[in-house]
């Protein structure tokens, strides 16, 4: 009896936690795959074309493929929290950042310092575009989604213009270290980058007041201002962080593919990033956030896609199935449905109590 009550208490605590929805969704995807085909989880060691011993398998490709999305989801979570809205221009901004990255790389011989210089340049450009969005949001009180509609519309054409309409390729072993594998390390580099970036952001939020300030601006801007927090500055700051995320995501994608195509690079990723934030149990109306939730959300989306590919669903039709799963997840997570479930459970529970009393 005691055990069961502590279990119930633990479950209740978990169900009230923000991470309940993403963990439950991840659990569903895993259970589905266990019953469908257990070999989905197998990981093998292979030797790739460059002679590196590397890990391969569905799990690795999920973790690897979701890298850009996970990084963007981190930035999007912070923007959502502070501004109560979402930036839909991340895909277009990533195209711009990637184009600048490639332009600097092609102007020089590719060495490590040049790559860093290219990253820095791309970062500055991306931050400038993010600051443009940020100014509209923070200074002019425009809804983030509307403000970022401008860069969303004009972003990819600007990327087109940066490289003169071409889709130039860049080829260097140094870039493949970023995009695929570093010799001697069997884990794909994008995964390592996500881990490093995640740790950095978590430390920054934990050991400074940044996280607290961002959340307080999102929860009640007026109260935050009365407490000496500058809401305009915090909003600009989250957009700048998003700019950095956009640069990293864009650069990883360029390194992975080896060329920049302004039309197709990270297309529709803004929708997936917002979805990751929502599946991660974060309210799209701002306020409290959990970065871990959003990152798990990103992996859920990728796991779903890879599962559907493994089931031989064509790449264009994947969206339809994804939509159904998303709706199921958000319906289960909806407060109204949860209330209904609780009511039904209470009714059943009371009935069983009565039965016990009768006996």
Partner 1 sequence: MESVRKQTGKPKEPISSTTLLLTITISTFIAMYLLAMIVWGGGFLNPQQFLDIFNNNAYLIVISCGVTLVMITAGIDISVGGTVALITMACVVFMEDYSGSVAASIILALGIGLAMGIVQGFLVAYLKIQPFIVTLAGMFFTKGMTTIVSKAPRTATNEVFLAMKNFRIELPFGTYGKTGNFIPARIEPGVIIALAIVFIVWVVLKWSRFGRNVYAVGGNSESALMLGINVKRTKFFAYVLSGIFAGIGGYVYLMHTGAGNAANAYQAEIQAIASSIIGGTLLTGGVGSVIGTLFGVMSLKTINNIVIASGLREPYWQSITTGLMLCFFILLQSVILTLRKKKRQGFTTADV
Please report whether residue 145 would count as binding partner 1 according to CB under 8 A: yes
Report the distance separating Cα 129 and Cα 19, nearest Å: 32
Please report whether residue 8 would count as binding partner 1 according to CB under 8 A: no
Please report whether residue 109 would count as binding partner 1 according to CB under 8 A: no
Please report whether residue 287 would count as binding partner 1 according to CB under 8 A: no
| 3-state SS, residue 68 | helix
Report the distance separating Cα 245 and Cα 298, nearest Å: 14
CB nearer to partner 1: pick between 168 and 258: 168
CB of 7 to partner 1, least distance (A): 29
CB of 147 to partner 1, least distance (A): 7
Please report whether residue 336 would count as binding partner 1 according to CB under 8 A: yes
CB of 352 to partner 1, least distance (A): 28
Q: Are 57 and 187 in contact (CB under 8 A)?
A: no
Report the distance separating Cα 87 and Cα 68, nearest Å: 16
Please report whether residue 334 would count as binding partner 1 according to CB under 8 A: yes
Please report whether residue 24 would count as binding partner 1 according to CB under 8 A: no
Tell me the H-state helices in 37-143: 58-65, 67-83, 90-107, 112-140
| Identified binder of partner 1 from the candidate list 151, 170, 246, 306, rule CB under 8 A | 151
- Residues 6 or more apart from 316 whose CB is under 8 A from it? none
CB of 326 to partner 1, least distance (A): 5
Please report whether residue 230 would count as binding partner 1 according to CB under 8 A: no
CB nearer to partner 1: pick between 208 and 334: 334
Report the distance separating Cα 30 and Cα 28, nearest Å: 5
Tell me the H-state helices in 220-334: 221-226, 231-257, 269-279, 291-310, 318-333
Report the distance separating Cα 60 and Cα 41, nearest Å: 9
DSSP letter, residue 287? S
- Within residues 153-192, the interface with partner 1 by CB under 8 A covers 153-154, 156-158, 160-161, 165
CB nearer to partner 1: pick between 315 and 352: 315
Can you give the binding site for partner 1, defined by CB under 8 A? 86, 136, 140-143, 145-147, 149-154, 156-158, 160-161, 165, 271, 274-275, 278, 284-285, 314, 316-324, 326-327, 330-331, 334-337
């Amino acid at each position: 009896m005691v055990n069961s009550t502590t279990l119930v208490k633990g479950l209740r605590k978990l169900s009230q936690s923000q991470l309940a929805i993403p963990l439950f969704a991840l659990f569903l995807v895993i259970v589905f795959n266990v019953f469908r085909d257990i070999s989905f989880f197998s990981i093998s060691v292979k030797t790739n074309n460059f002679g590196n011993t590397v890990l391969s398998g569905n799990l690795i490709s999920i973790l690897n493929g979701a890298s850009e999305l996970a990084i963007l989801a981190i930035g999007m979570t912070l923007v959502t929290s502070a501004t109560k809205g979402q930036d839909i221009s991340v895909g277009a901004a990533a195209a711009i950042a990637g184009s600048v990255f490639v332009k600097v790389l092609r102007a020089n011989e590719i060495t490590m310092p040049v790559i860093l210089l290219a990253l820095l340049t791309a970062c500055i450009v991306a931050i400038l575009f993010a600051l443009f969005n940020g100014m509209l949001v923070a200074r002019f009180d425009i809804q983030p989604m509307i403000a970022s509609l401008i860069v969303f519309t004009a972003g990819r054409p600007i990327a087109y213009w940066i490289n003169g309409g071409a889709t130039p390729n860049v080829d260097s072993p140094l870039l493949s270290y970023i995009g695929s594998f570093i010799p001697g390390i069997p884990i794909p580099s994008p995964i390592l980058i996500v881990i490093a970036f995640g740790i950095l952001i978590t430390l920054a939020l934990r050991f400074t007041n940044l996280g607290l300030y961002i959340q307080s601006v999102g929860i009640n801007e007026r109260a935050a201002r009365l407490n000496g927090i500058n809401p305009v500055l915090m909003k600009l700051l989250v957009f700048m962080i998003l700019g950095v995320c956009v640069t990293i995501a864009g650069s990883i994608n360029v390194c992975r593919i080896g060329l920049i195509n302004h039309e197709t690079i990270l297309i529709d990723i803004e929708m997936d990033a917002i979805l990751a934030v929502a599946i991660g149990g974060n309210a799209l109306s701002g306020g409290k956030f959990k970065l871990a939730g959003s990152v798990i959300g990103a992996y859920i989306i990728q796991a779903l896609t890879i599962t559907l590919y493994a089931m031989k669903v064509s790449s264009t039709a994947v969206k339809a199935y994804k939509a159904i799963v998303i709706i199921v997840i958000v319906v289960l997570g909806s407060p109204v449905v949860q209330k209904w479930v609780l009511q039904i459970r209470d009714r059943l529970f009371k009935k069983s109590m009565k039965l016990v009393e009768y006996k």
